Structure 1
Amino acid sequence: MPNIHITTFINAPLERCFDLSRSIDLHKISTQHTNEEAIDGVTSGLIDLGEHVTWRARHFFVTQKLTTKITEYESPFFFVDEMEKGAFESFRHEHFFKSSNGITEMTDHFLYKSPFGILGSLADFIFLKRYMKNLLLGRNKVIKDFAESDRWKELLE
Protein backbone atom coordinates (compact mmCIF):
# COMPACT_ATOMS: atom_id res chain seq x y z
CA MET A 1 0.00 0.00 0.00
CA PRO A 2 1.67 3.25 -1.10
CA ASN A 3 2.19 5.86 1.59
CA ILE A 4 2.88 9.50 0.74
CA HIS A 5 4.28 11.70 3.50
CA ILE A 6 4.56 15.49 3.00
CA THR A 7 5.44 18.22 5.50
CA THR A 8 4.76 21.88 4.71
CA PHE A 9 5.81 24.82 6.88
CA ILE A 10 3.46 27.79 6.81
CA ASN A 11 4.03 31.22 8.35
CA ALA A 12 0.45 31.54 9.60
CA PRO A 13 -1.65 30.60 12.65
CA LEU A 14 -2.47 26.95 13.27
CA GLU A 15 -6.25 27.45 13.22
CA ARG A 16 -6.13 29.24 9.86
CA CYS A 17 -4.13 26.43 8.27
CA PHE A 18 -6.43 23.80 9.76
CA ASP A 19 -9.55 25.53 8.44
CA LEU A 20 -8.07 26.16 4.98
CA SER A 21 -7.27 22.45 4.78
CA ARG A 22 -10.96 21.67 5.44
CA SER A 23 -12.21 24.25 2.94
CA ILE A 24 -14.16 22.79 0.04
CA ASP A 25 -13.77 26.11 -1.81
CA LEU A 26 -9.97 26.10 -1.45
CA HIS A 27 -9.85 22.48 -2.61
CA LYS A 28 -11.69 23.53 -5.78
CA ILE A 29 -9.15 26.30 -6.36
CA SER A 30 -6.20 23.94 -5.85
CA THR A 31 -7.58 21.40 -8.34
CA GLN A 32 -8.77 23.74 -11.10
CA HIS A 33 -6.57 21.91 -13.61
CA THR A 34 -8.73 18.77 -13.15
CA ASN A 35 -12.03 20.71 -13.31
CA GLU A 36 -12.81 19.30 -9.89
CA GLU A 37 -16.18 20.23 -8.44
CA ALA A 38 -18.10 19.22 -5.34
CA ILE A 39 -21.40 17.72 -6.50
CA ASP A 40 -22.91 16.16 -3.36
CA GLY A 41 -22.68 16.44 0.42
CA VAL A 42 -20.78 19.48 1.64
CA THR A 43 -20.25 21.46 -1.57
CA SER A 44 -18.87 24.70 -0.11
CA GLY A 45 -17.51 26.07 3.16
CA LEU A 46 -15.79 23.90 5.76
CA ILE A 47 -16.28 20.16 6.10
CA ASP A 48 -16.60 18.69 9.62
CA LEU A 49 -16.62 15.34 11.41
CA GLY A 50 -19.08 12.85 9.95
CA GLU A 51 -19.71 14.89 6.81
CA HIS A 52 -18.99 13.75 3.28
CA VAL A 53 -18.32 15.32 -0.11
CA THR A 54 -18.54 13.81 -3.57
CA TRP A 55 -16.09 15.21 -6.10
CA ARG A 56 -16.25 14.96 -9.86
CA ALA A 57 -12.94 15.52 -11.67
CA ARG A 58 -11.02 14.60 -14.76
CA HIS A 59 -7.88 12.51 -14.18
CA PHE A 60 -6.02 10.64 -16.90
CA PHE A 61 -8.58 11.79 -19.51
CA VAL A 62 -11.42 10.12 -17.60
CA THR A 63 -14.16 11.85 -15.58
CA GLN A 64 -14.33 10.21 -12.17
CA LYS A 65 -16.34 10.55 -8.97
CA LEU A 66 -14.90 10.22 -5.48
CA THR A 67 -16.78 10.39 -2.18
CA THR A 68 -14.85 11.02 1.02
CA LYS A 69 -15.95 11.35 4.63
CA ILE A 70 -14.32 13.03 7.62
CA THR A 71 -13.92 10.06 9.98
CA GLU A 72 -11.69 11.54 12.70
CA TYR A 73 -11.40 15.12 13.88
CA GLU A 74 -9.60 16.98 16.67
CA SER A 75 -9.64 20.72 15.96
CA PRO A 76 -7.19 22.31 15.22
CA PHE A 77 -4.63 19.50 15.33
CA PHE A 78 -5.85 16.58 13.26
CA PHE A 79 -8.46 15.24 10.88
CA VAL A 80 -8.83 12.27 8.57
CA ASP A 81 -10.73 11.93 5.33
CA GLU A 82 -11.36 8.45 3.95
CA MET A 83 -12.76 7.27 0.66
CA GLU A 84 -16.27 5.86 0.74
CA LYS A 85 -16.65 5.40 -3.04
CA GLY A 86 -14.27 5.97 -5.90
CA ALA A 87 -11.59 4.69 -8.23
CA PHE A 88 -9.22 3.52 -5.49
CA GLU A 89 -9.74 0.31 -3.62
CA SER A 90 -9.27 2.46 -0.51
CA PHE A 91 -7.56 5.58 0.76
CA ARG A 92 -6.98 7.35 4.06
CA HIS A 93 -5.65 10.91 4.20
CA GLU A 94 -4.42 11.99 7.63
CA HIS A 95 -3.82 15.72 8.22
CA PHE A 96 -1.67 16.78 11.21
CA PHE A 97 -1.06 20.35 12.41
CA LYS A 98 1.27 21.75 15.05
CA SER A 99 2.65 25.20 15.70
CA SER A 100 5.89 26.59 17.02
CA ASN A 101 6.87 30.27 17.16
CA GLY A 102 4.06 31.27 14.79
CA ILE A 103 5.00 28.69 12.14
CA THR A 104 2.51 25.91 11.44
CA GLU A 105 3.83 22.51 10.49
CA MET A 106 1.25 20.80 8.31
CA THR A 107 1.86 17.10 7.67
CA ASP A 108 -0.03 14.85 5.28
CA HIS A 109 -0.01 11.06 5.42
CA PHE A 110 -1.81 9.71 2.38
CA LEU A 111 -2.23 5.94 2.25
CA TYR A 112 -4.03 4.33 -0.64
CA LYS A 113 -4.59 1.02 -2.33
CA SER A 114 -5.01 0.90 -6.08
CA PRO A 115 -7.54 -1.43 -7.68
CA PHE A 116 -6.70 -4.17 -10.18
CA GLY A 117 -4.16 -6.12 -8.12
CA ILE A 118 -0.77 -6.41 -9.81
CA LEU A 119 -1.79 -3.98 -12.57
CA GLY A 120 -2.64 -1.37 -9.92
CA SER A 121 0.71 -1.97 -8.22
CA LEU A 122 2.47 -1.52 -11.55
CA ALA A 123 0.56 1.75 -12.15
CA ASP A 124 1.65 2.94 -8.68
CA PHE A 125 5.27 2.26 -9.51
CA ILE A 126 5.17 3.79 -12.99
CA PHE A 127 3.10 6.96 -12.44
CA LEU A 128 0.26 6.97 -9.91
CA LYS A 129 2.22 7.56 -6.70
CA ARG A 130 4.09 10.48 -8.31
CA TYR A 131 0.81 11.88 -9.68
CA MET A 132 -0.86 11.73 -6.25
CA LYS A 133 2.15 13.29 -4.54
CA ASN A 134 2.16 16.16 -7.04
CA LEU A 135 -1.58 16.74 -6.46
CA LEU A 136 -0.93 16.98 -2.70
CA LEU A 137 2.10 19.25 -3.15
CA GLY A 138 0.06 21.55 -5.38
CA ARG A 139 -2.79 21.62 -2.88
CA ASN A 140 -0.39 22.43 -0.03
CA LYS A 141 1.17 25.25 -2.05
CA VAL A 142 -2.26 26.82 -2.49
CA ILE A 143 -3.02 26.43 1.25
CA LYS A 144 0.33 28.07 2.06
CA ASP A 145 -0.22 30.90 -0.44
CA PHE A 146 -3.68 31.68 0.97
CA ALA A 147 -2.65 31.31 4.63
CA GLU A 148 0.41 33.55 4.33
CA SER A 149 -1.44 36.36 2.53
CA ASP A 150 -4.76 38.10 3.06
CA ARG A 151 -6.41 35.73 0.57
CA TRP A 152 -7.52 33.46 3.44
CA LYS A 153 -10.15 36.09 4.22
CA GLU A 154 -11.87 35.27 0.91
CA LEU A 155 -12.68 31.82 2.28
CA LEU A 156 -12.83 32.02 6.06
CA GLU A 157 -14.49 35.34 6.86
Structure 2
Amino acid sequence: MTSRITAYEPPRHFTDEQVRGPFRALRHEPVFDDLGGGRTRMTDRMTVSAPLGPVGFLVTRVLLAPYLRRLLQQRAAHIKHLAEAADVLVWPDRER
Protein backbone atom coordinates (compact mmCIF):
# COMPACT_ATOMS: atom_id res chain seq x y z
CA MET A 1 0.00 0.00 0.00
CA THR A 2 1.20 3.50 -0.81
CA SER A 3 -0.14 6.55 0.97
CA ARG A 4 0.39 10.28 0.72
CA ILE A 5 0.15 13.00 3.35
CA THR A 6 -2.61 15.22 1.97
CA ALA A 7 -2.99 17.64 4.88
CA TYR A 8 -0.51 18.75 7.51
CA GLU A 9 -1.25 21.28 10.25
CA PRO A 10 1.27 20.82 13.07
CA PRO A 11 0.86 20.28 15.91
CA ARG A 12 -2.88 19.68 15.50
CA HIS A 13 -3.28 17.00 12.84
CA PHE A 14 -2.30 15.45 9.56
CA THR A 15 -4.14 13.31 7.02
CA ASP A 16 -2.76 10.40 5.05
CA GLU A 17 -4.65 8.79 2.19
CA GLN A 18 -4.06 5.66 0.17
CA VAL A 19 -2.96 6.38 -3.39
CA ARG A 20 -2.31 2.74 -4.31
CA GLY A 21 -3.41 -0.37 -2.49
CA PRO A 22 -6.14 -2.88 -1.76
CA PHE A 23 -8.92 -0.46 -0.83
CA ARG A 24 -11.09 1.67 -3.04
CA ALA A 25 -10.26 4.45 -0.55
CA LEU A 26 -8.54 4.73 2.83
CA ARG A 27 -8.18 7.98 4.78
CA HIS A 28 -6.52 8.27 8.20
CA GLU A 29 -6.55 11.40 10.37
CA PRO A 30 -4.80 11.46 13.74
CA VAL A 31 -5.92 14.59 15.63
CA PHE A 32 -3.97 15.90 18.62
CA ASP A 33 -5.70 18.03 21.28
CA ASP A 34 -3.73 19.93 23.93
CA LEU A 35 -5.46 19.22 27.24
CA GLY A 36 -3.12 21.49 29.22
CA GLY A 37 -0.76 20.47 31.96
CA GLY A 38 1.51 18.70 29.50
CA ARG A 39 -1.27 16.32 28.43
CA THR A 40 -2.33 15.54 24.88
CA ARG A 41 -5.24 13.49 23.55
CA MET A 42 -4.82 11.72 20.21
CA THR A 43 -7.95 10.70 18.33
CA ASP A 44 -7.65 8.51 15.24
CA ARG A 45 -10.27 8.89 12.53
CA MET A 46 -10.21 6.33 9.74
CA THR A 47 -12.49 5.94 6.74
CA VAL A 48 -12.24 2.83 4.59
CA SER A 49 -14.07 1.93 1.40
CA ALA A 50 -13.56 -1.59 0.08
CA PRO A 51 -13.81 -2.74 -3.52
CA LEU A 52 -16.18 -5.48 -4.72
CA GLY A 53 -19.51 -3.78 -3.97
CA PRO A 54 -21.80 -5.52 -1.44
CA VAL A 55 -19.30 -8.34 -0.83
CA GLY A 56 -16.55 -5.81 -0.05
CA PHE A 57 -18.91 -3.89 2.23
CA LEU A 58 -19.76 -7.06 4.16
CA VAL A 59 -16.09 -8.09 4.48
CA THR A 60 -15.23 -4.57 5.65
CA ARG A 61 -17.95 -4.55 8.33
CA VAL A 62 -17.36 -8.08 9.61
CA LEU A 63 -13.60 -8.57 9.31
CA LEU A 64 -11.73 -5.43 8.33
CA ALA A 65 -13.30 -2.84 10.66
CA PRO A 66 -12.61 -4.83 13.86
CA TYR A 67 -9.05 -5.54 12.66
CA LEU A 68 -8.35 -1.87 11.89
CA ARG A 69 -9.88 -0.80 15.22
CA ARG A 70 -7.52 -3.16 17.09
CA LEU A 71 -4.58 -1.99 14.98
CA LEU A 72 -5.26 1.67 15.79
CA GLN A 73 -5.71 0.88 19.50
CA GLN A 74 -2.39 -1.01 19.59
CA ARG A 75 -0.67 1.80 17.70
CA ALA A 76 -2.09 4.41 20.11
CA ALA A 77 -0.91 2.38 23.12
CA HIS A 78 2.58 2.16 21.60
CA ILE A 79 2.69 5.91 20.91
CA LYS A 80 1.51 6.59 24.48
CA HIS A 81 4.23 4.33 25.88
CA LEU A 82 6.92 6.06 23.80
CA ALA A 83 5.66 9.54 24.71
CA GLU A 84 5.57 8.77 28.42
CA ALA A 85 9.04 7.20 28.29
CA ALA A 86 10.31 10.36 26.59
CA ASP A 87 9.31 12.44 29.61
CA VAL A 88 12.98 12.68 30.53
CA LEU A 89 13.51 14.89 27.49
CA VAL A 90 13.55 18.61 28.09
CA TRP A 91 11.19 20.38 25.73
CA PRO A 92 11.98 24.07 25.09
CA ASP A 93 8.51 25.38 25.93
CA ARG A 94 7.84 23.03 28.81
CA GLU A 95 8.12 23.99 32.47
CA ARG A 96 9.77 21.54 34.80
The answer for unaligned runs of 5 or more in structure 1 is 1-65
Partner residue of 1:85?
A: 20
Partner residue of 1:69?
A: 4
- Percent identical among aligned pairs is 38
Matches within 5 A, 1:63-142: 66-100=1-35, 101-142=37-78
SS of the aligned residue for 1:149 comes to helix
Q: How much has 1:136 moved relative to structure 2?
A: 0.7
Return the index of the structure with the highest Cα Rg. 2
TM-score when normalising by structure 2: 0.85
Q: How much has 1:103 moved relative to structure 2?
A: 1.1
The total of aligned residue pairs comes to 88
Q: Deviations over 1:117-149 (max 9, x none)?
A: 111111122211000111111111110010001
TM-score when normalising by structure 1: 0.53
Deviation >3 Å, runs of 4+ = none
Letter in 1 for 2:69: K
Q: Deviations over 1:50-73 (max 9, x none)?
A: xxxxxxxxxxxxxxxx00000000
Q: CA RMSD in A?
A: 1.7
Q: Deviations over 1:23-59 (max 9, x none)?
A: xxxxxxxxxxxxxxxxxxxxxxxxxxxxxxxxxxxxx
Higher relative contact order (CA 8 A, sep 6+): 1
Q: How much has 1:150 moved relative to structure 2?
A: 3.2
Letter in 1 for 2:10: S
Letter in 1 for 2:52: F
Q: Deviations over 1:9-34 (max 9, x none)?
A: xxxxxxxxxxxxxxxxxxxxxxxxxx
